[in-house]
Amino acid sequence: MPDALERLSARQRDLLGCWLPGVGVVEDMSWGLVETTVLQVVADGERFVVKAGGASDHHIAREVHAHREWTGPWLAQGRAARLRYADVDAKLLVTSYLPGRLVQDHPAAAGPDTYAQAGLLLAALHGQSAVEDAGYEARANAKAERWLAGDHRITPDDVAQLRALIRSWPTPPAVLVPTHGDWQGRNWLVDDDGTVRVIDLGRAELRPAMTDLARLAEREFRRYPGAEEAFLAGYGLDPRTPEEWFRSRVREAIGTAAWAHRVGDEPFEAQGHRMIAEVLADASRERRMSGAVEGRDDDA
């Protein structure tokens, strides 16, 4: 597949040739929505995965950092790829190849054991360190407001309501842990024996633990009975608290709708708009309930 290698920059191709002489492409595994190229390759009889970022990429650096600092518990169990080569400036990395098929759209996606394993794996990642950050909530809110100020198809009325919500929130300190950032079935592999492994650390970053449940809650937990319960049993507890989780849901909804519009992913954009409708409905219901409680207090 010479065309796949041609998508890499000249520097990336030179580095790859030095690291893996005689490299050949087996499969192009790129998603096609962003400028990251993902290739399964072979060199000297061994398979590898190559990830190469484009000019504006900021995921490769995060992925390299995560491999170097946070994958130890997974590597000890054979549940993640091992970083073999990396050049952050060139936006290029090479990992060992992991066997298995994506859990997404696989029969394993409906199996409780898949989610129990995913919960255990996530707990191992999150449990490595924790730091209190007084500025996280303010930064997360500012990012959501930047999405709202950019190009999207969120209605003006919804934008106004979302902005009002965000500006009404407190900004307490948050406890941050190493997170995957895209924890869902499309980033898990499953073997024939049912073993779950983890891929794609391009969104890895220090965040509150509950943020790694955001995408599961919108997809797998809705689709597969028992998935949420099995996951939480594997994880060991539920890291979500009502107020923090609601703030996270709002920000996730905004980011989903705006990002998906930017890259042209219409089904994902539609999911984002559904998420927005749901959080706004929840906020409206909460206001009505609060008003009813205040009214009863006044009558007492």
Question: What class has domain 102-299?
Answer: alpha beta
Query: CA–CA separation, 6 vs 28, rounded Å?
Result: 12
- Per-residue confidence band for 293, with pLDDT thresholds at 50, 70 and 90: low
- The class of domain 2-98 in CATH terms is alpha beta
Residue 176: pLDDT band (50, 70, 90) is very high
Of 100, 127, 125, give the one whose Cα is nearest residue 114.
100
**How many degrees, rounded to 5, is the angle at CA 220 between CA 116 and CA 232?**
35
Delimit the domains of the chain by residue range.
2-98, 102-299
Predicted TM-score (pTM) of the model is 0.92
Interval 242-291: pLDDT, tens: 999 999 999 999 999 999 999 999 999 999 999 999 999 999 998 888 77
